[in-house]
Structure 1
Amino acid sequence: MFQEEVKEIGGLRLHVIPTKKYKTNTLVLKMKAPLCEHDVTMRAMIPYVLQSATERHPSMGALRTYLDELYGATLQVDLAKKGEHHIITIRMDIANEKFLGGTSPLLRDALTLLSDMLFCPLTEQGGFSVSIVEQEKRALKQKIQSLFDDKMRYAQHRLIEEMYKGSPYALDVHGKLQNVDPIDAKRLYEHYEYMLKHDEIDLYIVGDVMLADVEHDVAERFSLAARPSRSTSTSSLPKRTHVQEVVEKQDVKQGKLHLGYRTNITYSDVDYDALQVWNGIFGGFAHSKLFIHVREKASLAYYAASRIESHQGMMMVMAGIEPSNYNRALEIIHAQAEAMRTGQFSDEEIIQTKAVIRNQLLETVDTARGMIEISYHNVMATRQRPLDEWLEGIEKVTREDIVRIGEKIELDTIYFLTEKDGEKQ
């Protein structure tokens, strides 16, 4: 378990998680805004531009040299999509000076560097550095195009695109290829200035540190105007009268069968714990029905699993199959979903699934990154769910709860990526 201290400092929410587990301090800055087609591609570039250079460290080489001087501090950036929100993450890990012989204020130095990245990026003529922006445009194009080469990721993306057509959730976290070239250094910087005024910004510090130790340093370095919290609700899709089926043919040897279900339950809902157990028995783990019946018993799939999107109310089933096994694989997947709805699962499956979920959660909070992710779920959902309450909620889930929420889970879209000459059978 972990305790968290939270303080609003202007337009920034500071979260401090004190722990003596690690000899490092972890800083994670998250910037959140609604997914929107007109700016998602620019947002996808910005963290990579920010980590390339600052006014004080005006090249990637200079910045990396400085990180080495900070006893090998690490800096990473990332993008994510949670519900209908786009999340930019900047993460630094730095040694805790308490364990070093010198008196160098490493945590303060890390906060200064993070502040420099945010407020003093390298600029020229009213925009970001042209050479850095052009370099990151090439890198972003490669990331977007690489999706096509990873057929599992591609099928996952295409299922969501078809299922949520016209909704913000259909957008890919990296944006759209055709929107990369029009971006220039000045336009990108102007959008970044808009983000600093409007994004919800959370800063996490995890380590052997207390809120009182860092509050002044953070307030001094991160001057952001207060902003109202945005709604975290997702737009509702119109109800389908029938299951949508999409078949796409490419030069592939292995078919990708992905199914999208509406769970009508999100992290904020009281039924979320029961949904986790439902998914765990159905397809979330190696002991689950999909793995056993589709992959092991029928030998129809190279992989077969399900996962839930906590903030979107979606469950996805993924299976890699021979194209000729399409109908048989679908039949077994439908049969296992029906078995869940009618309570055809053992007490042992319930007990085993709860134990695996519990172990997963405890393993997650064994790392600084995991503690932050669990805390950020609460930020996303605007619902405080302490870990012990979460664990208790999982234990309290009954057979009746699992069957009951099964009635809410509806198949929406079937997406099948198959070989060009193959026929589904």
Structure 2
Amino acid sequence: MPYINEQIHEFNGLKVHLIPTDKFKTVTMFLQFCSPLNEKDVTKRALLSYVLKSSTKHSPSAQDLQKRLDDLYGASFASMLSKKGDYHILTLYMTAANERFISGASAKLFDESVKLLSEAVFEPAASDRQFDEKIVEREKRSLRARLESIYDDKMRYASQRLIDEMCQHELYRLHTYGYSEELDQVTADGLFEYYKKMMAEDQVDLYIIGDIQEKQSHILNTIQSALPFDKRQNKTRDIRINFNPVIPNEIKVVKENQDVEQGKLNLGYRTNIIYGDPLYYASQVFNGLFGGFPHSKLFMNVREKESLAYYASSSYESYKGLMIVMSGIEFSNYDKAVDIIKEQLEAVKNGDFTEHDIDQTKALLRNAVLEALDNPASLTDFLYRQVLTGQPVTAENWLHAIDQVRKEDIIKVAEKTTLDTIYFLQGEEAE
């Protein structure tokens, strides 16, 4: 029996993905809008995600909206933004109880949930071709607070600054939630104009996850009626086609001084291996072995053996072929920490790891994937990867491909991994 049973249906400008499963007593809907990253629109898109989830034409206040959610047995409704390669994803998602598991619940609980989602998308709090100005100003404050919180969280700030510097001439540099200094320039009518553009041009996918096997026909009829997106040309192209490898000519070093007590040392590497590359699965194992798990070389040598870092780990961005190393160190340990991180990559290139290390890494990757399938959000993320890349892959195929990775494949990935940028956030007194 397959891990995931996905059924896809298309209605004009909407692609519906049904994932029937008895793992959950809720029904979760993820409505995904995908568009290429755009410098002039990135802040508008971030603000729009806040405005759409905060009110509708029929529930213009936060209290009105919350009351409707409470009436739906405590349903939740929210939005989020993500960046996948050079694409900007705006997601509206709703989780509601499955009426099958609630005694006395209305048989139309799902229908009412879809109705609310439909209102948020097709009937936002707007009139005369502009959003309600009070709502826009309120959500500007909320978004500005989020952006300021990134500056206060130095680990997140350092990660963002590394990408700023490393991808200076690429769309990927653009911040997922936009820029605080641009918020004042966004008007209620300008935001509405962008909303209409998004509704007309974005690729739109709806994922519905839950114990829905017995009512799929009803669900599809309800969705077709409630979410009447116009047919559009597919604006989202295959990411594999858009990918342009970048070969660093030299290592860029950026040091920034702030009033911080702990240094944040982040290193950005380019593997130029993305989803669909023959070495893609080997790159997953490589990252896990290098810095992704507690038994990794970064954790064991930089943090445990040498006691140079409060934390040391790596992550892999499979849409851009980037590997990011993050560590927290004493300011005085900068040179030593950089050297020993570099040494770990050389050790992998030289094959300085065992079959046991590989097996342990594969086991942890397998567990991570299986755990992801038990969460509606990460399950959607796994399936949505296929939409963005145009390359279908089942969970079974993914796990099998990981199992087939050999030591020489991992070494090949390490040999293709090149240090691009070093970013160090240090104290104001540091040299």
Task: Provide the TM-score with structure 1 as the length reference.
Answer: 0.97
Residue 246 of structure 1: aligned partner: 254
Which range moves more in the overlay, 237-246 or 393-402? 237-246
Out of 406, 410, 418, the position equivalent to 1:410 is 418
**Which residue in 2 is equivalent to 1:189?**
192
Cα distance in 2 between the residues matched to 1:134 and 1:75: 21
| Deviation at residue 238 of structure 1 after TM alignment | 5.0
- Report matched runs for 1:10-159 at 5 Å: 10-100=12-102, 101-159=104-162
Q: Percent identity?
A: 44
Letter in 1 for 2:290: F
Shift of 1:235: 5.0
Shift of the 34–55 alpha-carbon distance from structure 1 to 2, 3 Å rule, reads same
Match of 2:203 in 1: 200
Contact 1:27 1:204 in 2 (8 A): yes
Instruction: Determine the structure 2 residue equivalent to 1:227.
Output: 232
Q: Which residue of 1 aligns with 2:270?
A: 262
For residues 349-388 of structure 1, the aligned pairs below 5 Å read 349-388=357-396
Change (3 A) 1:212 1:268: farther
Q: What is residue 327 of structure 1 aligned with on the other side?
A: 335
Residues 164 and 237 in structure 1, CA contact (< 8 A), matched pair in contact too: no
Contact 2:81 2:176 in 1 (8 A): yes
Once the two structures are TM-superposed, the CA of residue 166 in structure 1 deviates from its matched residue by 2.2
Instruction: Say whether the 8 Å CA contact 2:275–2:318 is kept in structure 1.
Output: yes
CA RMSD of the aligned region, Å?
1.2
Structure 1: gaps spanning 5 or more residues: none
| Corresponding residue pairs, total | 423
Structure 1 residue 280: Cα displacement: 0.5
Whole-angstrom CA distance in 2 between matches of 1:215 and 1:104: 16
Q: CA deviation at 1:368?
A: 1.8
Aligned counterpart, 1:399: 407
Aligned CA distance change for structure 1 residues 237 and 405 (closer, same or farther; 3 Å)? closer
Distance (whole Å) between structure 2 residues aligned to residue 180 and residue 358 of structure 1: 42
Shift of 1:104: 3.1
| Counterpart pick for 2:223 among 218, 221, 228 | 218
On the 8 A contact 2:27/2:210 being kept in 1, the answer is yes
For 1:22 and 1:35, the matched residues in 2 are separated by: 34
Q: Does 1:339 align with 2:371?
A: no
Following superposition, which runs of at least 4 residues in structure 1 exceed 4 angstroms of deviation?
none
d(CA) in 2 for partners of 1:357, 1:14 = 29
SS, match of residue 207 in structure 2: strand
How far does residue 397 in structure 1 lie from its aligned partner after superposition? 0.3
Deviations 1:119-177 (A, max 9, x none): 00111332111100001111112222221111111110111000110211001111112
Q: Deviations over 1:207-259 (max 9, x none)?
A: 11144331111111111122233222445365332111111111111111100
Describe the SS at the equivalent of 2:54: coil
Q: Distance in 1 between matches of 2:131 and 2:247?
A: 44
Counterpart secondary structure, 1:110:
helix
Are the counterparts in 2 of residues 167 and 235 from structure 1 also a CA contact under 8 Å? Answer: no
Q: Distance in 2 between matches of 1:190 and 1:226?
A: 19
Which residue identity does 2:165 align to in structure 1?
A: E
Quickly say closer, same or farther: Cα 1:324–1:353, change in 2 above 3 A. Answer: same
Matched residue, 1:305: 313
Name 2:9's counterpart in structure 1. Answer: 7
Once the two structures are overlaid, the 10-residue window that deviates more, 95-104 or 30-39, is 95-104
**What letter matches 1:80 in structure 2?**
S
Q: Secondary structure at the match of 1:287?
A: coil
Q: String of CA shifts for 1:277-302, please: whole Å, max 9, x gaps.
A: 00000000111000010000000000
Cα offset, 1:304, TM superposition: 0.2
Q: Structure 1, residues 332-351: CA drift from partner, whole Å, max 9, x if none?
A: 10110001111110111001
More off after superposition, 267-276 vs 206-215: 206-215
The reply on whether 1:286 has 2:294 as its aligned counterpart is yes
Name the CA distance, whole Å, in 1 between partners of 2:344 and 2:226: 54
Say if 2:31 and 2:206, in contact at 8 Å, map to a contact too.
Answer: yes
Deviation digits for residues 329-375 of structure 1, max 9, x if unmatched?
Answer: 01110110001111110111001000000011111101222221110
Secondary structure of the residue aligned to 1:51 is helix
Paired letter, 1:213? H
Question: If the length of structure 2 is used for normalisation, what is the TM-score?
Answer: 0.96
Inter-partner Cα distance in structure 1 for 2:249 and 2:372? 40
Q: For structure 1, which segment, 207-216 or 15-24, has the greater mean C-alpha deviation from structure 2 after superposition?
A: 207-216
Contact 2:290/2:296 (CA < 8 Å) preserved in 1?
yes
Q: Tell me by how many angstroms 1:58 deviates.
A: 2.0
Which residue identity does 1:153 align to in structure 2?
R
Letter in 2 for 1:79: L
Residues 274 and 235 of structure 1: CA distance in aligned 2, closer, same or farther (over 3 Å): closer
